[in-house]
Amino acid sequence: MKRDSQTGAVPVMVPVPAEAPYTYAVPAGMTVEPGSIVRVPLGPRLVAGIVWDGDGGAVDAKKLRPIDHVFDCPPVPEPMRRFIDWVATYTLSAPGMVARMILRAPEAFDPEPWIEGLKRTDAEPGRLTEARARVLELAGDGLAWTRSGLAHAAGVSSSVIDGLKAQGVLAAEMIPPRPVVAPPDPTYGGGRLSPEQADGAAELCRTVAEDRFSVTLIDGVTGSGKTEVYFEAVAAALAQGRQVLILLPEIALTQAFLERFQDRFGAKPAEWHSDLPPRMRERVWRQVAEGQTRVVAGARSALYLPFPKLGLIVVDEEHDPAFKQEDRVFYSARDMAVVRAHIGGFPAILASATPSVESRVNADQGRYRRIALPSRFADAALPDIRAVDLRRAPPARGGFLSPVLVEQVRRTVERGEQALLFLNRRGYAPLTLCRVCGHRFQCPSCSAWLVEHRFRGQLLCHHCGHHEPRPEACPECGTFDHLAACGPGIERIAEEVVGHFPEARTIVLSSDMLGGVKRLRLELDAIAKGEADIVIGTQLVAKGHNFPNMTLVGVVDADLGLANGDPRAAERTFQLLSQVTGRAGRTGKKSLGLLQTFQPDHPVMRALVSGDAAAFYEREIAERERSGLPPFGRLAGIVVSAETRAEADGHARGLRRAAPPAHDISVLGPAEAPLALIAGRHRFRLLVHGERRSDMQGFLRTLLANGPKPRGSIRVQVDIDPQSFL
Among 1, 6, 43, 503, binds DNA (CB under 7 A): 43
- Kindly state whether residue 42 participates in binding DNA, applying the rule CB under 7 A: yes
- Kindly state whether residue 626 participates in binding DNA, applying the rule CB under 7 A: no
Letter for the amino acid at 443? Answer: C
Q: Give the distance, in angstroms, between the CA of residue 502 and the centroid of all CA atoms in the same chain.
A: 37
Shortest Å, Cβ 64 to DNA: 5
Query: Which among 35-43, 268-276, 355-363, 683-691 is the span making contact with DNA, rule CB under 7 A?
Result: 35-43
Kind of pairing, strands 65-66 and 22-25? parallel
Q: Is 443 annotated as a binding residue?
A: yes
Shortest Å, Cβ 464 to DNA: 16
- Kindly state whether residue 15 participates in binding DNA, applying the rule CB under 7 A: yes
CB neighbour list of residue 2: distance below 8 Å, 6 or more residues apart: 31, 32, 33
CB neighbour list of residue 145: distance below 8 Å, 6 or more residues apart: 117, 118, 119, 138, 139, 153
- Kindly state whether residue 515 participates in binding DNA, applying the rule CB under 7 A: no
Nearer to DNA, 18 or 486 (CB): 18
Shortest Å, Cβ 443 to DNA: 19
- Kindly state whether residue 22 participates in binding DNA, applying the rule CB under 7 A: yes
How many CB atoms sit inside 10 A of residue 478's CB?
A: 10
Shortest Å, Cβ 387 to DNA: 47
Burial readout 41-59 (b: 16 or more C-beta within 10 A, e: otherwise): ebeeeebbbbbbbeebeee
Contacts 24+ apart (CB under 8 A), 570-575: 570/602, 570/603, 570/604, 570/620, 570/623, 571/356, 571/357, 571/620, 572/321, 572/676, 573/604, 574/354, 574/604, 574/607, 574/608, 574/613, 574/616, 575/319, 575/354, 575/356
Instruction: Write the CA distances from 139 to 143, 154, 178, integer angstroms.
Output: 7, 9, 18
Shortest Å, Cβ 51 to DNA: 13
How many CB atoms sit inside 10 A of residue 610's CB?
A: 11
Shortest Å, Cβ 30 to DNA: 14
Count residues binding DNA (CB under 7 A).
Answer: 20
Among 10, 13, 23, 354, binds DNA (CB under 7 A): 23
Query: Which among 10-18, 346-354, 376-384, 408-416 is the span making contact with DNA, rule CB under 7 A?
Result: 10-18
- Kindly state whether residue 30 participates in binding DNA, applying the rule CB under 7 A: no
Ranges within 46-65 binding DNA (CB under 7 A) = 59, 63-65
DSSP secondary structure string, 11-61? EEE-SS--SS-EEEE--TT--B-TT-EEEEEETTEEEEEEE-SS---S--G
Nearer to DNA, 107 or 407 (CB): 107
Element (H, E) at 658: helix 645-658
Nearer to DNA, 43 or 398 (CB): 43
Binding mask 85-114 for DNA (x = CB under 7 A): ------------x-----------------
Nearer to DNA, 101 or 343 (CB): 101
Hey, is 69 helix, strand or coil?
Answer: strand
Q: How many whole angstroms separate alpha carbon 680 and alpha carbon 674?
A: 13
Element (H, E) at 716: strand 714-717
Letter for the amino acid at 409? Answer: V
Q: Is 486 annotated as a binding residue?
A: no
Nearer to DNA, 19 or 625 (CB): 19
CB neighbour list of residue 82: distance below 8 Å, 6 or more residues apart: 343
Nearer to DNA, 59 or 252 (CB): 59
Q: Is 73 annotated as a binding residue?
A: no
Query: Which among 42-50, 244-252, 257-265, 394-402 is the span making contact with DNA, rule CB under 7 A?
Result: 42-50
Q: Give the distance, in angstroms, between the CA of residue 113 and the centroid of all CA atoms in the same chain.
A: 32
Nearer to DNA, 98 or 687 (CB): 98
Strand partners, 371: 218
Among 4, 8, 16, 446, binds DNA (CB under 7 A): 16
Query: Which among 20-28, 144-152, 495-503, 697-705 is the span making contact with DNA, rule CB under 7 A?
Result: 20-28
Query: Which among 17-25, 120-128, 331-339, 389-397 is the span making contact with DNA, rule CB under 7 A?
Result: 17-25
Nearer to DNA, 67 or 229 (CB): 67
Nearer to DNA, 63 or 127 (CB): 63
- Kindly state whether residue 705 participates in binding DNA, applying the rule CB under 7 A: no
Q: How many whole angstroms separate alpha carbon 714 and alpha carbon 252?
A: 32
Rg, Å, the chain Cα set? 29
- Kindly state whether residue 18 participates in binding DNA, applying the rule CB under 7 A: yes
Binding mask 315-354 for DNA (x = CB under 7 A): -------------x--------------------------
Instruction: Write the CA distances from 325 to 88, 348, 364, 646, integer angstroms.
Output: 14, 20, 27, 28
Nearer to DNA, 584 or 718 (CB): 718
Among 29, 44, 457, 502, binds DNA (CB under 7 A): 44
Nearer to DNA, 98 or 423 (CB): 98
Annotated binding site for Zn(2+): 434, 437, 443, 446, 461, 464, 474, 477
Residues contributing to the site for DNA (CB under 7 A): 15-18, 22-25, 40-45, 59, 63-65, 97, 328
